């Protein structure tokens, strides 16, 4: 077993995050000590000292808890001396009980701190995995300003089945992918990683957008079905809705292929237009035998100052306690003039307020603005 570094061990004995609250157990010890000494002989408040280390556990570390326990024991001894009852069995039993309770409280702190460190390590690993899997989008690509947002359904989760990625091509264009893998948990994360890897490996090449879509579909189908028994090949339920975009630098248009995904929204001033292609293809992974399928590219105007919103169904299907869906198309035009990062901040705050902080599904949004230069 690897030994824990000394700085980590020392940190486990440091005070908690609310040192100002130490006034509470300290005040309790002083109050009990003074009142017990001044009270009539038949009144004994010493047993209340056990509350000092018990309270300290809630907001401080093991070291401070041990200190409060030691002060409480010292106060109990002082009470016994000042009242002349220290040698009695009653005071000795109270002191012994106080020592035992203090030791238990310190033990609880040690266990809790160890688990908090383990949880911190798990979160660090999850954050590192997310940074590798869902890499941040470039703030600038050609004449585009880009920003991305990912909100997991589970507050403590950092990964899910929603995804986005961008790639720069040699013929002066930017390609983007946004998708939503079916399901959740590790299987969805694995399929999201597969789709992102296939996109990053091929999106920068000179191949056309339909050939890129064929590549993603074939790679996805092959990896998710290569180890399945032959009898299960026709029951494959692994797929991902997705949109592929190619945005040239010097041509005010956007080329896209929609594979069963919610259509992008084009914001021009206060006017919002869903970019619904004439042909919507099957999701990635359902494109036909061996991933072979024909994909049609749809082209839409995308001029300087226009804003393009890509999103997953976790946004438009988010509902509040009354079952009301989030009014995404109504709220989005209010932020059309904002910087993409600011727009995403406002959207996140508004979305979480609508669902009272609890999403039923992961949500991802990508904002793209075309700049003049």
pLDDT bracket for residue 84 (50, 70, 90): confident
Sign of CA dihedral 351, 357, 362, 366: positive
pLDDT at 6 exceeding the cut of 50: no
Q: Is the predicted pLDDT of residue 157 greater than 60, yes or no?
A: no
Task: Tell whether the model's pLDDT for residue 190 goes beyond 70.
Answer: yes
35, 86 Cβ separation under 8 angstroms: no
What pLDDT was estimated at residue 61?
86
Query: What is the C-alpha to C-alpha distance for residues 256 and 243, in angstroms, rounded to an integer?
Result: 7
What are residue 247's phi and psi, to 5 degrees? -120, 105
Task: Name the strand (E) or helix (H) holding 175.
Answer: strand 173-181
Structure confidence at residue 225 (pLDDT): 66
With 0.75 as the threshold, say if the pTM is over it. no
Longest dimension (CA), the chain: 96
Which residue is associated with the tokens 């599904």? 361
* pLDDT in the model for residue 2: 37
Angle of helix 89-133 versus helix 62-82 axis, rounded to 10: 170
- How far, in Å, CA of 136 to CA of 33, rounded? 59
- pLDDT above 60 for 17: no
pLDDT at 267 over 90: yes
Whether the per-residue pLDDT at 230 is higher than 60: the answer is no
Evaluate if residue 92 carries a pLDDT over 70: yes
Lowest mean pLDDT among 59-73, 79-93, 167-181, 345-359: 79-93
Question: In the predicted model, what is the mean pLDDT of the chain?
Answer: 84
> Cβ-count burial of 99 within 10 angstroms (0-12 exposed, 13-18 middle, 19+ buried)?
middle
């Amino acid at each position: 077993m690897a030994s824990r570094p000394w700085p980590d061990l020392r940190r486990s004995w440091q005070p908690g995050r609310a040192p100002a609250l130490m006034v509470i157990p300290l005040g309790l010890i002083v109050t009990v000590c003074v009142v017990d000494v001044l009270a009539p002989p038949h009144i004994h408040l010493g047993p209340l000292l056990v509350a000092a280390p018990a309270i300290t556990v809630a907001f401080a570390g093991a070291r401070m808890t041990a200190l409060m326990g030691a002060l409480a024991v010292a106060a109990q001894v002082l009470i016994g001396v000042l009242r002349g009852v220290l040698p009695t069995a009653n005071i000795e039993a109270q002191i012994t009980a106080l020592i035992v309770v203090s030791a238990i409280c310190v033990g609880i702190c040690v266990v809790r701190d160890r688990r908090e460190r383990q949880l911190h390590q798990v979160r660090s690993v999850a954050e590192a995995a997310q940074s590798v899997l869902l890499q941040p989008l470039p703030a600038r690509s050609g004449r585009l300003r880009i920003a991305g947002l990912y909100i997991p359904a589970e507050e403590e989760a950092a990964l899910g089945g929603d995804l986005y990625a961008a790639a720069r091509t040699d013929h002066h264009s930017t390609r983007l992918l946004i998708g939503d893998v079916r399901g959740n948990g590790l299987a969805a994360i694995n399929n999201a990683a597969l789709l992102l890897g296939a996109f990053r490996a091929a999106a920068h090449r000179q191949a056309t957008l339909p050939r890129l879509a064929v590549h993603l579909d074939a790679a996805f189908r092959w990896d998710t079905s290569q180890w399945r028994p032959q009898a299960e090949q026709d029951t494959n339920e692994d797929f991902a809705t997705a949109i592929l975009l190619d945005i040239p630098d010097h041509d005010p248009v956007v080329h896209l292929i929609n594979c069963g995904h919610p259509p992008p929204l084009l914001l021009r001033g206060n006017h919002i237009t869903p970019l619904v292609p004439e042909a919507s293809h099957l999701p990635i992974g359902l494109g036909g035998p061996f991933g072979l399928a024909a994909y049609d590219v749809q082209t839409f105007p995308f001029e300087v100052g226009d804003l393009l919103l890509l999103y997953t169904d976790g946004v438009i299907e988010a509902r509040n306690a009354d079952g009301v869906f989030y009014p995404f198309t109504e709220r989005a035009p209010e932020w059309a003039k904002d910087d993409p990062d600011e727009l995403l901040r406002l959207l996140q705050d508004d979305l979480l307020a609508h669902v009272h902080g609890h999403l039923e599904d992961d949500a991802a949004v990508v904002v793209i603005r075309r700049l003049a230069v």
